[in-house]
Every structure is written in structure tokens, then in C-alpha cells.
Structure 1
Amino acid sequence: MEGLKLVHASLEEAQNHVWHKTEGLKSSSLIVRRGQNFRLTLSFNGPYMSNKHELVLKIQLDGLYCDVPITSSKNTSQSQWSAYIQQGRLDPSTPHNTSVCVYSPPTAIVGVYQLHLLVKSSYGSYNCKIGKFTLLCNPWCAADSVYLPEENQREEYVRNDFGLLYQGTAKNIIFRPWGFDLYESGILEICMMVLQVSNEHKKNWKSDYVNRSDPVYISRVVSAMINNNDDCGVLQGKWSEDYSSGLNPSEWTDSGSILKQWAKSGFSPVKYGQCWVFAAVMCTVLRVLGIPTRVVTNYNSAHDTNGNLVIEEYYTEKGEKLTQNRDSIWNFHVWVECWMKRGDLGAGFDGWQVLDPTPQERSGGVYRCGPAPVKAIRECQINMDYDVPFIYAEVNADVRVCIVRQKQVLSCTTETDRVGVLICTKSLGSNRPEDITSTYKNKKALRPSLRTASPRSVKGLSLELNHIKAPVVGENICFSVTVTNHSSVLKTVKEYVNAQAKSYDRSPSDTFWEADNIIQLAPHKSEVLQHQIPYSQYSALGNEQLINLAAVVIDLATQERVLASEEFNITSPIINIQVADEDTIIAHRPQVAMVTFTNPFSVAVKGMLTVAGSGLLEDKVHINVALLQPRETMNTMVQFTPKIVGVKMLHASLSLDINCIVIRGFRTITARPA
């Protein structure tokens, strides 16, 4: 008589994916989350009898494995793998089928497992392969260290596959739509390969697997792997103007294109990335791995190279900003926050943790940053792992502004509130930015010994810059300079005003516009000077550039000097996307969107329109836009079909042929069941 043998095994992918909130993730095998049962159906050549047959699952991760006996009763231990026969599920029409529940502990290793079945009976042993499954972290499991208690947070920070990245300045936030592409074909496998090709895995695969039970370790590995500075990481950073051997970072619109290009190339770095690209790709990888993640923008982000928490800025007598040291302030810097428990730290530091994959400084000898508890940054716990002092300076450093002549300092003032002026992320379930500055900054917690700069001195003159109206591309920039004489004597003062172009991450370039005036100021009176920068003088800057505007007034009698400066961006036009009858969009039914753009420039333009949308379009749509005359409107229809029920984003970018200008727009689409 033949012994019991397996005829067929079903991993019940469809039902397990619903239970484990992994539906939509693309894979040829089962995808489940740890700390939760998943079900198998085993079909044998005869009836399984517990008194005659012994069933054992072998769960294997490369060279590591554990044997898990399949019992007749549910194992109550939550700390180890277990499996049991699910009673009451016998189908009379399939008497030889056995339903098995497999449980993974909430501290199980994240990875791709092979599953084998060993059948023992009096006739001998029989071993066969059942299949493979991918095991992810589980924010729905209270015992998992990435557990997130609110369902709307889990939907936003784990399952949402689109988002908005914030750039520009705190006074004029630019919304950049981004596709995280969690559910695109191949993305899950690529995200798992990020771990497999890391230096940690290459050095000691066994140690790497063991440590992969901890999201602190996983996030640290991913932070290093997103940049290529020390390994075969995903992206190569570049902050110069020559991107001819790759793609300008501003042209990326989604993570999927980058990750697929990296994998297809055999893990050669994709060219090129800057902070928002690094952060957005890291967000994709960590969300796929099951770690709650959100993208965060810090406005006026300090890079303090000497650790004194003071950033020095130098200006000439005419208000031209100089580059004289390694310290810098980026107009914005983008990183990610991940939600996790910090068992490696003292109590009270669970929750959001800062991780920054943009290569700036080494951490443990490797270009990576974090995870640093946001609570530790707020409470000035600068001796805490990982990299808290560096991030603390990014949001809290003072700025010492000096006017110099021939390397001699003529005057200085200190600004204590410019750095980290606004820290924000996408709001839950909406497209508005959420201000999270208070989670990072608590002025009462600052140690006085860290504030080394002198306070602002009182002067006989004061100076104020004001925009008459918000700067809009294609229009003149109109602003005023208000000079006030606080003394009781008449003053003759000279005003210098200048504008310099700058990128968000470095000091300004040469002055492209300037003006000067001599004025008489009566005692205790103010004078308002009006200025205009013609569009023709800034049109060549492109819409990714910012402007450093500075004014200096000099008391010609006393040589007293006062400086005021502001860095601002210019509001760009947008692409408008409209969908008729938005309330009746049904999954799997074709829909049409109208993409509209009106040329605001004084010259004719043409370019390339790209429309994308994960879960809406199979591939990106590229359309050549013919010559548009000034004030002429382009209307283009794009057909899309929602693949699944839920909220998705349709986003468009128009790369114009003048001055590297890129225009963007987006529309969220809610697909309902039929």
C-alpha cells in the first residue's frame, strides 16, 4: 500500500492577501505579514489521519530553516512559528483536503521563504516543496514593533501609493506630485533585493538575516542602500547643472521608474537624484516592507559641519551673499519618518523616527542617517542614537549674518528662528501639507549653552523687505524696502538692493539685478522705496531656481549698516486636470481626463507632456505639445482605466523647451466598485 503523499498544495493567495492587507502587491507567490496566521490547503492521495501520519513544515530562508510540526490544536505561544489543522473546514466533496493555519511570530525575519512539507508514516517519509512566500512587517499587529494603532494612519503611511512632496519656500510651498508605485509589477521583488544586495548581506548573510527581525536595522540598511556612495545603491546624487549622462532629478515623477531601471541594469546606480528623490524612493521601499513611512520637508535646513549649532552667512557691503565656509542652509531638505518602537533606547522614544538617505555625512562609517527619534530631537537628547545631533542642528541652528569688507567683519546680527521655520508632511487622507514643526522644536528644552551667538543689537536704523504681491512667473517682481530712522537727527543713507539666483541647496550665484539710491531720512520717520525686477531679467533662471533678495542701507555719516534679506521662489503656472462626473468613476471602466495648460509666458513655447498614474495607466503617456503662443491654451484628452477600487493620483508634467522649465499638475481619482 502506498503511503500518504501530497497531490496539490494551495497557498490560498487571494484570501490570504485580503486578510494580510497585501492585495495589490504584485508577486508570483504569497505575500503575508508577520504576527498573523495564513492558510494553506493540502490535497493528499488519501485521507490524512493524525494517529497514523505526522506532518512537518520546513520553513527555509536560504541557509536558515526551522521545522514546524503541524498539530491538531492551536499553539498558544506567540513567540515562535507554529502550524495547526484548522478544524471544521473539511469539505465532503474533497475528503482528502486538509486546511492548515501557519503562524509567524511578530519578530520573524523579513524575507522570501521557501516552504516544504515532510510527511511521516509507517510507510516511510515523503518530502516535497509547497511553494514560497514573502514575509513583511505588520503594522496591524499590536505585537509587531511597527504597529500603528489608527487604521487611517495605516492606510496613508503603509498602503497609499501616491503622495505630494513639498519644495519651494515656507512662504510659497510648491506641491510636487509623486507616484510611490507600491503596486507596480516587479516592485516588491526589487524592494526585497535592496536588502539582498546590501553590504551587510554580502559581509555576513546569516547575521543580516537574523537582524532583519528589527525594523531599526532594516531602515538603517535601506538608508544606506538608497544612495550609492558606499555600495551598489539605487541612486547617484548630483547637484550640478550638467545631467547629460543621466536624468535631471527634477524630471523624475515616480519611484517605480527608478527602481526598475536600477534592477534592470544589474544594480548600477540610477543617475541622478537629489534629496526629494532619495526620500521618495526610500518611502516606497519601506512601505513595501511594511514599515509605516512618510516624506517630510524641513524648510531652511541647516548643514552644520563643525557641530557648533551656528551657521555663518557673509554679505558684501552691497548685500551680495558670499560663500566663505562649509556650513550651509538649504531652502528645503526632504527626508522620511518611519514609525517604530525603539527597544534599543530608553522608554519614551517610540514613534516617528527620522531617516535620511541623502548622502551628507557618514554614520558608523557609511553614508546614511537615522533612525533618530523625533522626540529625542525635540527634547535635545543630542547623545542618543542614531545621528540625533546632526538632525537637531538641521532644525535648530542659529544663523549669524555678517557684513564684511576685505575679510573684515563690519557688523553682525543673529537669527534664532530662521532654521527649521516649517516642517511639514502630507496630511492624512488629503492633499494639504500638515505642519509638524512642533513635534521637532520645543524652545523651552533648548540648553542655553548651545546658543553661542550674541543677541541682535539695537541700531539707529532698521530695514524691512516686503513683496507688494506674490511673485508670479511671467510677471515683474514688485517689492518695497522700508527704511526707518529711529534717532532724533536727520540721516543721509545709501540703499543698495540686489538679486542673485540660487539653487535650494547652495549659496547664490552672481548678481543678475541691482539698484541703489541715496535718501534723506527725517528723525523718527520711515521711507518706503518701490522696486521692480523685470521678467526679462529673471526669465532665464527656470522655475526650479530661487532668488536671494538683499538690501543694505548705510548711514553715510556714521557708517552704520543694516541688512535685510529674503530667499523666495516664484509661483509657477499649473497643469489643470479635469475628469467629467468624478462621482461616477468605476473600477475597470475606461475614463477620460482633460489635461489643460495655458501659456503664461511672453514667448511661444513647446515641449513634452507626460501623464502618469499608478493603478490608472498601464504605462506613462507621452505627448508632443506643438508651439503654444502666449496666452494660448492646450487641451489634451487622456484615457485611463482604474485597475482597483480606491483613491489614486493622475499626475502630469510638461517639460518646456525654454530654460528647463517643468510645469506640473495632479488630480486624485476615486474609483468605486461596479
Structure 2
Amino acid sequence: MESSRADRSTSNDMYMDEFKLQSVDLEVEENLSRHRTDGFSGSKALVVRRGAPFRISLQLGGRPFDPNTDILKIKIMLGRLYAIMPVKNSPKPSASRWTAHMDLASLNPLQPSVLICSPASAPVGRYRFVLCAFTKDGARICTVSQFTLLCNPWCQEDSVFIPFEDQREEYVLNDSGLLFMGTAMNIVPLPWSFDQFESGVLEACLNLLEVSPQHQQNRRMDHLNRNDPVYLGRVVSAMINCEDDRGVLKGNWSGDFKQGVHPSQWTGSGDILRQWAKSGFSPVKYGQCWVFAAVMCTVMRVLGVPCRVVTNYNSAHDTNNNLVIEEYYTKTGLKLNGSKDSIWNFHVWVECWMSRPDLGSAMDGWQVLDPTPQERSAGVFCCGPAPVKAVRDRRVDLIYDVPFVYAEVNADVHTIIVDQGQVLRVNKDTEKVGTLVCTKAVAFPRVQNITGDYKLVKSPMSTLSSRSSRSSDDSTLRRASTAAAAGVLLFLTLDKAAVSGQPIGFTVKIINKQKKTKRFRMHLNAQAKEYNHSPSDTFWESNGVVQMGPSEVKILQQKIMLVQYEDVVGDDLINLAVVLEDMSTHEQALASEEFNIASPQLIIKIADEKSVAAHREQTATITFTNPFSHPVSGVLIIAGAGLIQDRATFRMPPLKAGGKVEQTISFIPRMVGSKMLHAVLRLTDVRCTVRGFKMVSVQSR
């Protein structure tokens, strides 16, 4: 009996002497919260930010860990790059090296914790790590795991550090926002889900880096260079379009979208990125500038680089680099396509926040990056990062693509009247290009005017800085297009913002500066146009003769009725021009204006919106009223990052003129915070997309 007890005692001592590393707990929930990556919790993977420690716990069997005799080493690997670090008993911070130390505050011999910290300049990407324990008996026990490392705007040593918490919330964590379209006089907000925390998006963004030509050609150098947000920005800018690589989006400005999706039908980045990844990295069809920019914003926010979407109204594409854009009209006010240069009514790009040690600290801050394929940069269709400060200061000697961006906001416009190849008159406008540069305001669904960051502001458009994106203040919308000829002044002014369903009213004002009677032949012409093209054929015109007494001022009120313009409501804009010809001298004066007709809006109401809570079913009602003179039908799409798992689609049957329809939808919010529920109604009877959005404050239960 005594012998049996001794045997058992010896056996237990031997068992306790064995050191067993059973598993490693990545403490995912705690680390995601600490690193502000808890939005990625759906992937159940460890996602952390560089320059900050994350904690892992060792699950041991057998005897406890003995820090005096047992040794832990960790090997961190990104492709073929690696770092080996011993686990120290006390912290020894390093700005340039990976470090690891025991978490003495919670030391449990059978479940010891280790804090691992990357340098603030570590490359981003998918890492593997091996943890090995070496015991006093010479045994070696290893376990393998992985994590994803992102940039860290909360870390002062990181090159993407941005100093204000509300900006970090907006430009890194906000998963929805507004893009701006239309014209500077009548801004149209476009709700967009950036979807950076939605299923599959993180993986698609990391795949984008690995599919890039830089990675395929030299993986080691690509991994090394991923420490630099300048490099990341150029890679992503090129990979969003597919012109040189296996990029995400195929651009299409032809008007024929039968082989894919019309760009205006996209509601967020998640569908695009997931479709691209699922297809084996075949380009998604189709994108235009705002789609390219919004998807790039998603990718940069996922990678941890602060990013915002920016709209430049009257954006110049100066092909010959002379900072002059020429526009041609006939003497009857018809706008011609007579120049390789062009002005887009709006163009959308992104800005990313980063330091620029390659250019000096004076160029730190917001950088322009443009993924829309327009011109090649170092042989590739990408643009930037061009420091906004360099654009403002006309530092066209600096990299990357500063001259191109400078021209987009600063070129002069020469309006030329021609007849049978002869130039009749040239007007010069130094303020039309870059009329307004804007982005979404921090924490609020409204416009923020940032024109002054790009150029010396001479225009009264600064009043837009505090204007809600959903309202129209007529005092800021009225703008006169003015022309002068010998003895006469000509003004063209919209009476108010054009709204679908209502007549378009405008005023022609003529001032006879001479003290003698004059007779003028007046031509009025309206053409539909896409935001980035020259106008199509005339859809409305008016002609007449105007008799003017000496020094007389004449004001002529004009209207374009609904039945005359409703076929061009929606995605099209209007080019309106008036030409005045002196019937005795044949001198010409021209005034023109390009404007959009605001589409009707969807109205979204949340039932009991003050008590919306995570993981609790909610109800929303979407209402549409038909402003057109004929029945319309269409497809309604409802989406919202953090609110709706998969976008909901409903078919709207024909709705009579003036009729109203309501659609109710249930949803269960998954994330706490300010979220956006938005809806798009794509009408099939007219070329019009109707949108609406509602901000939803989701509380914890």
C-alpha cells in the first residue's frame, strides 16, 4: 500500500515537471477594443494597429512558467521579412524594433500574458508569428498564429497621426458618409456606405495589396515599402482602376452600361470590393469618378490612413498644360465640342492625411490622391499623393502630380464664339474653374468648404461652408453669368435652384451703355449634358429681337416648362446660353450657365428613432412622391453599414403623376454609434435616380 502511494507521488512530480504549451489566446475582443478595430470583430481575426502593444495569453499544462529558467521567443513574419525577439521580463520600449515583454500586471504562472509591440513604422499587412518556449530541460515547444497590422492615426510616432479625436472618428472609423455631385450652385448629396467593417471587405483590401504589380514583381520590396503611406497611396490609387493591372473597377463614360451596373446605382463600396474578390480579381463594371474615389476611401480607411472624399466643382482637365481651357459656342448659343481640354461640372477625388518626409514637414497634412484614370503618373494611371499645400502654393516642382491637380482648380476659361471657322468674340473667366472644393463636415451631414486650402478664395461661395447639404439657400445659389461687348452688358441669372416638377425660371438682363437706340437679335439655347462631357443637341431654344432705348436697362423673364425638360431630369445637367448680336455692328455678347435640376428626394422615417438599440429590431418607412407628369416605376434599394446586413431591394409598380408610395422595412442594427440608413430609387421610365438618407443614432441595449 505504501509502495503504491510512492509510485503515484513520483508520477505526479514527473507530470508537474513537464512544460506544456497547449495554445495561445489572442485575446481578440480585448485587443480589438484597445486598438479601435472592434468594427472588424465579425471576421473573428486579430486586427491591431502599429506602434501600440497587443496582449496574448499562453494556455499552459503541466508545471507553471518559470521566468528564471524558461525562455520565450517570438518570430514575426510578413512574407519573407521577419523579426525575432526574446520575451523580456520587463518592458524595454523601442521606436524602431518589435519588442515583447511579460505582462507583469496580470502574471499567472499557468496563464502568463505577453505584450507585443510593433514599431510605428512597421509595414501593414497580414502577419504570421511563431511563439517558442525553451525549457530548462532543453525542450522546444512552438505554436503558430496570425494577425493583421494597420496604420495607427492614434499614435504620435506614426506618419498618419492626426491630432483630433473627432477627425479620427470621421476619417478612419466612420463607415458611411456623403459624396457631393450636381453643381456648386445646387449641390446634390449622394449617401454612400464605405462599408469598411462589413463582411469580406478587410480581406478584399489586403488582397488588393497582394494582387498589385508591385507585390507580384518584388514581394520583399513591396512588404518593406508598405511602411510608407505615400507608397500605399500610390499602389491603391492605381489598383482602384483596372487600366494597368487587375484593379477593382472598370471606368465607363460611354452611356452604355448594358454589360454591367450603371455607376449611379452603386450605394456602397462593400458590394464592389466583394464582387471583385469573388470573381478572382476581375474588374467590376462600371465606375465613374465618385465611385472610384469612394472605393479608394474605403480601402485607405481599412488600412488605417485617414481619408476623405473631396469634390471639385468645375474641374479642369488641361491636356496641353497651358492653364487655359477653351470652350466654343455658335452665334446662336449652341455649345460645341471643339477642344481636347475639358471642364467637368464636378470631379471627385480623395485626400489622405500623412506626413511627407520626402518633401519636408511643410508639405505634411492632406494629400490629393485620384484613382480615376485620366493621365499617367510615372507611366501608370494613378495620381498623387500631391500635397494640398503644394497646390495652394503653386509648388509645381514637387512630386507627385502637383501640376495636374493645380490645373484642375486654377485654369482660366476662354469662351469663344465662332461662325464658319471665324472667331467672333472671346470672353475670359479666371474664376469658373475650381469654383468650390468641398467635403463632408466632421460629424455632421453637411458641406464643408475647403476651397481656401487649394487656392486664394475670391468667390462668395464661402457662405456654403455652413450650409446644410440637404437645404438650399437661394442667396447662395443665385449667380449671374456676365458678358460685355462694346456698349452693352449682358447678364444671365437663374431665379432659384432648379427643382424637378417646377418650371425653370431665369432672367436675362441687358444694359445699353450707349446713349443711342440699339436693336439686338437674341438667341437662347438649352442643351443637356453629362457632368464630364460636352452638351448634346438642343432640347429648348427661343429667339427674338430686343429694342433698347438710350441707356436703357431691360429685364426679360424666361421659363422652361416641365414638359420641355423632364426627359433630361436626373443625372444630366443643363447648359444654358444667351447670345446677343448687335444688328447694326454684328458684335456678339454671350453669357452662359450650367446647372443641374434637383431630383425629388426619398423621405425616410424611423419608428421610435430615439430608442434605436443594437441587436433590437427596428422599422423604417421610405416615401416617394412622383413629381413627373406621367406614371413612373422603378427599383428601390435600401442599405446602411452597421444597420442592414445585405441591402434590401423592392420593385415599385407604376405610380401615377402626383401619386405617393410607401415602403416599410425591418432591420436589426449590429453596431453602436451614428449610422446612415439610405435608399436609392432607380426609375425605369426616366433617366433619374432618386435618393434619400437618414442618420440613425444606435444605442447599446
**TM-score, normalised by the number of residues in structure 2:** 0.93
* 1:214 to 2:203 alignment: no
Shift of 1:541: 1.8
Residue 519 of structure 1 and its aligned partner are, at CA, apart by 1.4
SS at match of 2:695: strand
Equivalent of residue 237 in structure 1, options 251, 256, 263: 251
For 1:562 and 1:266, how far apart are their aligned partners in 2?
57
- Alignment counterpart, residue 453 of structure 2, candidates 439, 455, 477: 439
Q: Give the match for residue 8 of structure 1.
A: 23
Checking the alignment, whether the CA contact within 8 Å between 1:579 and 1:593 is kept in structure 2 is: yes
Unaligned runs of 5+ in 1: 445-454
Equivalent of residue 29 in structure 1, options 35, 38, 45? 45
Residue 548 in structure 1 maps to residue 575 in structure 2: yes
- SS of 1:395's equivalent in the other structure is helix
Partner of 2:541: 514
Q: Please state how far the C-alpha of 1:530 moved relative to its aligned partner.
A: 2.4
CA distance in 2, matches of 1:635, 1:471: 26
Q: CA deviation at 1:125?
A: 4.4
Residue 661 of structure 1 pairs with residue 688 of structure 2: yes
Match of 1:88 in 2: 105
What does 1:608-647 correspond to in 2, within 5 Å? 608-647=635-674
SS at match of 1:513: strand
Q: How far does the alpha carbon of each residue in 1:147-179 deviate from its partner, in whole angstroms, 9 at most, with x for none? A: 011000000000000000100000000011000
From 258, 264, 273, the equivalent of 1:250 is 264
Provide the residue aligned with 1:259 in structure 2. Answer: 273
Question: Aligned partners of 2:248 and 2:187: how far apart in 1?
Answer: 28
After superposition, residues 4-83 of structure 1 pair within 5 angstroms as 4-25=19-40, 26-45=42-61, 46-83=63-100
Partner of 1:450: none
SS at match of 2:433: coil
Of the candidates 459, 473, 482, which is equivalent to residue 500 of structure 2? 473
Distance (whole Å) between structure 2 residues aligned to residue 162 and residue 84 of structure 1 = 39
Partner of 1:190: 204
Question: Counterparts of 1:133-532 in structure 2 under 5 Å?
Answer: 133-442=147-456, 459-532=486-559
Q: CA deviation at 1:586?
A: 1.4
- The separation in 1 between residues aligned to 2:274 and 2:100, in whole angstroms, is 36
327-336 vs 109-118, greater mean Cα deviation? 109-118
Question: Aligned ranges for residues 577-592 of structure 1 at < 5 Å?
Answer: 577-592=604-619
TM-aligned CA deviation for residue 442 of structure 1:
2.2
Structure 1 residues 109 and 127: alpha-carbon distance in aligned structure 2, compared to 1, 3 A threshold: farther
What is the CA distance between 1:456 and its match in structure 2? 8.6
Query: Which amino acid in 2 is paired with 1:568?
Result: F
- 1:458, CA displacement in angstroms? 5.9
Q: Is the 8 A contact 1:502 1:547 kept in 2?
A: yes
Counterpart of 1:576 in structure 2 is 603
- Partner deviation per Cα, 1:627-672 (whole Å, 9 max, x = no partner): 2111111111111111121111110111112123211100010011
Q: Could you tell me how far apart the structure 2 residues matched to 1:647 and 1:519 are?
A: 57
Amino acid at match of 1:10: D
Find the residue that maps to 2:362 and give its secondary structure.
coil
1:596 equivalent to 2:623? Answer: yes
Contact kept in structure 2, 1:29 and 1:131, CA below 8 Å: no
Deviations 1:479-510 (A, max 9, x none): 22111111111111100000011000011111
Q: Deviations over 1:237-279 (max 9, x none)?
A: 0001110000100111100000000000000000000000000
- What is the alpha-carbon distance in structure 2 between the residues aligned to residue 488 and residue 626 of structure 1? 63
Residue in 2 that maps onto 1:452:
none
Q: Secondary structure at the match of 1:83?
A: strand
Decide whether the 8 Å contact of 1:283 with 1:295 is kept in 2. Answer: yes
Structure 2 unaligned residues grouped into runs of 5+: 1-13, 459-481
Name the SS for the 1:536 alignment partner: helix
Alpha carbons 1:379, 1:442 under 8 Å: kept: no
Shift of 1:3: 5.1
Distance change (3 Å), C-alpha of 1:100 and 1:349 = same
Please give the alpha-carbon distance, in whole angstroms, between the structure 1 residues aligned to 2:19 and 2:236.
45
Give the aligned partner of residue 113 of structure 2.
Answer: 99
Pair 1:410–1:458, CA change in 2 (3 A): closer
Query: Equivalents in 2 of 1:660, 1:639: separation in Å?
Result: 29
Secondary structure of 2:106 counterpart: coil
Which residue identity lines up with residue 120 of structure 1 in the other structure?
F
Following superposition of structure 1 onto structure 2, how do residues 111-150 of structure 1 map, counting pairs within 5 Å? 111-150=125-164
SS of residue in 2 equivalent to 1:319: coil
Residues 246-255 or 4-13, more deviating: 4-13
Deviates more, 1:166-175 or 1:592-601: 592-601
Is contact 1:3-1:121 (8 Å) kept? no
Give, in angstroms, the shift of residue 315 of structure 1: 0.6
Helix, strand or coil at the partner of 2:445: coil
- The alpha carbon displacement at 1:51 in A equals 2.4
Q: Is the 8 A contact 1:5 1:126 kept in 2?
A: no
Q: What is the letter of the counterpart of residue 139 of structure 1? A: P
Instruction: Give me the whole-angstrom Cα distance separating, in 1, the residues matched to 2:457 and 2:150.
Output: 39
Checking the alignment, whether the CA contact within 8 Å between 1:60 and 1:115 is kept in structure 2 is: yes
Could you list the per-position Cα deviations for residues 6-37 of structure 1 after superposition, in whole angstroms to 9, with x for gaps in the alignment?
Answer: 11210100000111000011424200000000
Q: Which has the higher helix share?
A: 2
Higher mean alpha-carbon deviation, 217-226 vs 522-531, is at 522-531
Contact map agreement 1:116 1:127 (CA 8 A) in 2: no
Aligned length: 661
State the one-letter code of the partner of 1:74: P
> Following TM superposition, by how much is the alpha carbon of 1:601 offset from its aligned partner in structure 2, in angstroms?
1.0
* RMSD between superposed Cα atoms in Å: 1.4
Structure 2 counterpart of 1:451: none
Could you tell me which amino acid in structure 2 is paired with residue 174 of structure 1? V
Report percent identity of matched pairs: 52
- Distance in 2 (CA, whole Å) between partners of 1:158 and 1:144 is 14
Q: TM-score, normalised by structure 1?
A: 0.96
- Displacement, 1:359? 0.2
Q: Distance in 1 between matches of 2:438 and 2:251?
A: 23
Inter-partner Cα distance in structure 1 for 2:635 and 2:455: 43
Structure 1 residue 598, shift from structure 2 partner:
0.8
Whole-Å Cα distance in 2 between the matches of residues 220 and 144 of structure 1?
Answer: 18
Alpha-carbon separation, structure 2, partners of 1:347 and 1:624: 54
Aligned partner letter, 2:622: V
> Secondary structure at 2:104's aligned position in 1?
coil
